[in-house]
Every structure is written in structure tokens, then in C-alpha cells.
Amino acid sequence: MSISSSAISWNDGGQSSGYRPKSSPFVLLNPFYGLGFSPSLRSSSIEFRLPLKSTLLRTKTCQPLPVLVRSEYPQNEDLPRQFSKREKKPFPVPIVELRRAARERVKNNKDKPKRPLPPPKNGLIVKSLVPLAYRVYNARIRLINNLKRLMKVVRVHACGWCNEIHVGPYGHPFKSCKGQKASQRKGLHEWTKAAIEDVIIPLEAYHLYDRLGKRIRHEERFSVPRIPAIVELCIQAGVELHEFPAKRRRKPIIRIGKSEFIDADESELPDPEPQAPPMPLLMELPDSEAVAPSSEEETIFLAEETLRAWEEMRNGTKKLMRMYKVRVCGYCPEVHIGPTGHKAQNCGAYKHQQRNGQHGWQSAVLDDLIPTRYVWHLPDINGPPLQRELRNFYGQAPAVVEICVQAGAAVPETYKPTMRLEVGIPSSVKEAEMAV
């Protein structure tokens, strides 16, 4: 079948002036999908319109349906937006939508008896989420232990002046350093050996003995212990740790006012019997006991297990956050696990003097509790290092994912768009200037 020049059309997402009837009996094909084009061609494609065989047998009673052949798999995606330190984080749900939903709830619940509060709002824990909390806790420990071993095989560099890291045999040459005396170095990084804290950002929160108790005052900020935020979330969800006890109610609380309640009388209940945990808790290995894998097969197996632990920790934390409230400051990275934030005036973000050091609490998202540190993706470990002039052709991935991929694990489907695996990287600057 021959294709005429009139059957070729340029599809720019509906912005062109060309008109295509809805009942046009053509097959739309994108012959350039998957080739190495510039990332600017994400929203446009070249399509061939081929007449169907059914058009030759068209009758008055049977109208052929148009067939569209197009891949919806995103070839490239941009990284999440990085907000400036001089602006407040946006709310996960806009204030207008929250107020509209509140008015709808008041309208629907008008003249209706009040329903008892479900757990965990009534002080009880959600029993169905207790095994999940144990799995998230163990996934975090397993992730840290595996990364300590993998980082002895895969080299991870950290800048000595800023918080940027790079995974690979050599540090990248991009002039993106914003640390102290960056102008004297013309933005170049000074690479040193990275630690586990550079890959997984240590984010701590106050440990609450009573999740529904009084808010932590400013004078109590040094007397309340601080532990990793994910560990605190798991404790409130049902994980039992002897060094960090938590109050477990067996009866729902009795509400007196909007923010006042009293505990129900539990003296008539029998003493609780000690129950075995759903699974044993893992222990974090010290740095001296972390041994590098002995063979290539063990390295690949360890990398795949690390990726599974990373995904299990993130997915499980996301499910726990739907039931147990997590608050984050809109100006700084401070996180609080509980329905309301603490009153400690230790916010040092932009214009904190106007707020007297108080935090601007709002609902947190997953990236607030588990910050993702992105690094440049190295297309070929044994190939040439990254070139400064070809920066727009390289992709990025979370540091944990990049370490596992360089160790031999398969690339997860979730991170393929940001890694730009389908983009052809030119071999020289001259070839890059010829790219469309």
C-alpha cells in the first residue's frame, strides 16, 4: 500500500489549525515513538493516517469506526517542582475545596444524630493496620542495612559544601553547587565519600506517649525525645517498642467539647494478656558489621531486595498516612505525627520573625515524610562520564533507585519516565546541536 504525502499530518496536541473530522476512517500511527528525540517533543508526534479496509466495504447501514493506534506510556517526565525557600508550600487540597467539603458535610449531617467516632479518632488503634505498621518498620530497617552493604560496591559521592550527591565512579561536572563559597569555585562541587544519611535523609519527629494528649509546649521541646518520623508513625499505628512506650486505650474516649475529652473507665475490664507481635522486629546493623556482597549474583539479589524494601516502605507509609494524621510545616521540613502540630517555636525558615518562630502546620504528603533525593542517571556505568554540554539529555532518579540499578537490578516502571531511557544521547556537542 502506498502512502501519499497528503496522508501525513502533524499532530501538536490540538494547537494546529488543521481540522480532522471525528468520523475520519484512518489509522493514526506514530512511527517516531521510542526514538531518541529531544525532550521538547513529548507533547507532539508525527502520525500517518492509513485508510482502513472497511472503508472499501462501506455501506449505508454500516459506518466504520475510527481506530487510533497510539501509546499512552509517558516517554519523558519532568521532576517534581522544587519550591523556593521564600514561599510557602501549597496545600495538598486547596483551602477552597476544604471549605466546600466542610459545608457539604454540615448540610448533609443536619438534623441527624451524631455518629460515634471511628478509630483512630476515638483513641483506639486500627487493628487491621497493625501488621502493615510492622512491615513498614522492618522494610525501613532492611532498606538501611542493604544500602550500607551496597554502598561498599557502588560508589556514592557527596558534595562537601551542599547537599547534592551523585552515584557513579566519578562525580558529575555540572556547575550546580549553591553552598558556601560557590562563586569562588564557579559552581563546581567538591566530591567526598557519601554516608547513609546522604542517601536517606534523617527526618525526626517528637515521640508522643499519648497521641491525643496535650500539645507539646515550647518549654517542653528538650524534654520530649525525638525519633525517626517513620518509626513514630509505626508506633502510633501499633508497633510496640520497649524504649518508646505509647498509651493504648481499650475503650473509646468520651468527647466533652470540640477539643476536650476524658478517658473511659477501664477498671472493669480484665487485665490485657500479652500478645505476640505479628512478626519479629529487625535490628539496624552498625557500620562496622556491614559487609560488602561477595559475588555478582549476591549483589544483584541484594539490589532487587533493596528496591522491594523501598517500594514496600513508601506504599505502606502512604496507606498509614490515610488513617493517622501527619502534619508538616509549610515553611520548613519539620514534621509532626499527630492530629495537631506542636507549639515549639523552632522554625527558622523565611520570615520566621513575623511568626515568632511558630510553624505553619498543614497536611503532609508522602514526600514530606520520606524526602526523595534525586540524582543524575548514568546511562552506562563503564562508558564515558557525564558531559556538561549534554545536561538536557540526561535523566534523574531517586538515589536509592539509582544505586540499585547500577548494582544490577531492573529499572522499575515507575521511574522510567524521569530517567529518560528512551532519549538518545548524542556522542558529541556537534551532534547535540543537530538535534531537533
Per-residue pLDDT tens over the stretch 23-48: 444 443 343 444 344 444 344 343 44
- Edge to edge, the sheet with strand 8-11 lists 8-11, 45-51, 26-29, 67-68
Q: Examine the pLDDT at 435 and tell me if it is beyond 70.
A: no
**CB within 8 A of 268, min separation 6: which ones?**
none
Chain segment 311-320, per-residue pLDDT in tens:
999 999 999 9
Collapsing DSSP to helix, strand or coil, 361 comes out as: strand
Question: How much helix, strand and coil, in percent to the nearest 5, is found in the chain?
Answer: 30, 15, 60
The H-or-E segment that residue 405 falls in is helix 399-406
The whole-number pLDDT of residue 57 equals 42
Closest C-alpha among 26, 123, 36 to residue 68: 26
Closest C-alpha among 195, 193, 206 to residue 246: 206
420: left (phi over 0), alpha (psi -120 to 50) or beta: left
Mean pLDDT of the region 98-113 = 92
**Residue count (the chain):** 436
Q: Rounded distance, CA 142 to CA 305, Å?
A: 9
The whole-number pLDDT of residue 64 equals 52
Q: Rounded distance, CA 83 to CA 350, Å?
A: 13
End-to-end CA gap in the chain: 30
> Exposure string (b/e) for 178-187, b if CB count within 10 Å is 16 or more?
eeeebeeeee
**CB within 8 A of 360, min separation 6: which ones?**
88, 329, 330, 331, 347
What are the residue boundaries of the structural domains of the chain, listed by start? 5-68, 122-265+277-322+364-419
Q: Which residues pair with 227 in a beta bridge?
A: 205
Mean pLDDT of the region 90-103 = 93
Q: What is the DSSP letter of 142?
A: H
Residue 103 CA: distances (Å) to CA of 98, 99, 111, 397: 9, 6, 14, 41
Rg (CA), the chain: 28
pTM of the model: 0.80
Chain segment 359-395, per-residue pLDDT in tens:
999 999 999 999 999 999 998 888 888 999 888 889 9
Closest C-alpha among 139, 261, 254 to residue 200: 139
Chain segment 118-147, per-residue pLDDT in tens:
999 999 999 999 999 999 999 999 999 999
The H-or-E segment that residue 302 falls in is helix 296-323
